[in-house]
Amino acid sequence: MASVRFRFEACLGVSFLKYSIVVWKIETVNWQRKLQLLDSLWQYLTFSRKILMFLQMLIDI
């Protein structure tokens, strides 16, 4: 279960990171946008972690 969870989390993180890097390269000047992007990345990762915890709880029951 742990390896599946790690793979799932890694896939989500890598896909979002690729998207973030592309947007980062396109918008090199706008610092406010970069801060928003980092904030949304953090929210995305915490949200995916909460979903994984919920799924793990359902599997453990």
pLDDT tens, 3-22?
Answer: 666 666 666 666 777 777 66
The pLDDT score that the predictor gives to residue 19 is 72
| Predicted local distance difference test score (pLDDT) of residue 12 | 64
Would the pLDDT of 39 be above 60? yes
Residue 50: domain span: 2-60
Quote the number of domains for the chain. Answer: 1
Q: Specify the amino acid at residue 34.
A: K
Alpha carbon dihedral 7, 3, 1, 50, in 10-degree steps, equals -50
Task: Please give the Cα distance from 33 to 7 (Å, whole number).
Answer: 29
